[in-house]
A = this chain, B = another copy of it.
């Protein structure tokens, strides 16, 4: 079928490529005309404005918006102004699910259907396909089924889950209608919250392995430093790249994130190209807010989020408060950073 695509960054462009490979036709637009030009070709027509893009689609139109979260609102507004009753907007970005609920309601008044579609897959999605978590009216989602099916990885991407029978469900293709408006991005939000937790689990574990030679380094024996009692048991120089690799086969902790970690360590064993300032991009935070609202304990997911904040120096003031207290009650001077 026919689909408009607004936003031709890495994600949007690759979605279009997967769609045309499966026989769909796309009309595409990006604020950067070069992006559209670059991708135009067999099955893909460019447009130099949202109006033009809408004009090149036949009703009922379906337009996928794949732009940074910060500009999704205005883009949807511009697009909606050009559409007619019966048309469909799909937001495939990382929007906050509450915005979906509000947008869907506002657009419904104009007869425009709104679908939120959490899209996971990253730079590998072009080949692997994208995992799609979809929210919106059942009928609209059903209408878009061919689109979702082409973007999703397909049944063969994983062995069948024991206990599942009959024709594969949509989830087994890699896409799922999760519920009404917002449900797609809600599930995607928690997906990313889990992602933070998984990543932190590997990172902490590797850091412990990395410190397995702590007994080899003399630790200062002053009053400001806790001594290492059992230095003899921390004498291992471990090869983290080989360890990440060995875990990829047969172990309980095998995963795609581990595969990626093994790849990083294979090419840069000490990860010297990174400084350790870790970004976060909204979903992890909203996940914690949802947990708090729902009264659901999330100590692991929140610790993972806070670890990222700390990596960017956001604990500094709190740490200075701690040093100030120690100075007050114990006369402890802060220990300067050792020159290594």
Contacts and interface: CB of A to CB of B under 8 A. Distances in A.
A34 interface: no
Given A233-B97, A332-B279, A334-B274, A304 B300 contact: yes
A94 B274 CA distance: 35
A178 interface: yes
Most buried by B among A198, A225, A234, A323: A198
B202 A194 contact: yes
Contact of A319 (B153, B180, B197, B278): B278
B253 A194 contact: yes
26 contacts: A98-B233, A122-B331, A129-B249, A131-B250, A161-B248, A176-B243, A191-B253, A197-B197, A198-B202, A199-B322, A199-B325, A200-B322, A203-B319, A204-B298, A207-B296, A211-B290, A226-B284, A228-B294, A252-B256, A260-B328, A264-B321, A288-B288, A289-B292, A297-B306, A299-B307, A307-B322
A37 interface: no
Sorted nearest first, the 10 A-B pairs with minimum C-beta distance are A197-B201, A255-B255, A276-B319, A174-B249, A211-B294, A131-B251, A194-B205, A260-B328, A131-B250, A297-B306
Contact of A259 (B128, B158, B172): B158
B200 A300 contact: yes
Contacts of A245: 161, 164, 169, 171-172, 176
Interface stretch (A44-52, A54-62, A84-92, A265-273): A265-273
A227 to B, nearest CB: 6
Contact of A316 (B196, B276, B317, B322): B276
Contacts of A313: 337
A275 B334 CA distance: 8
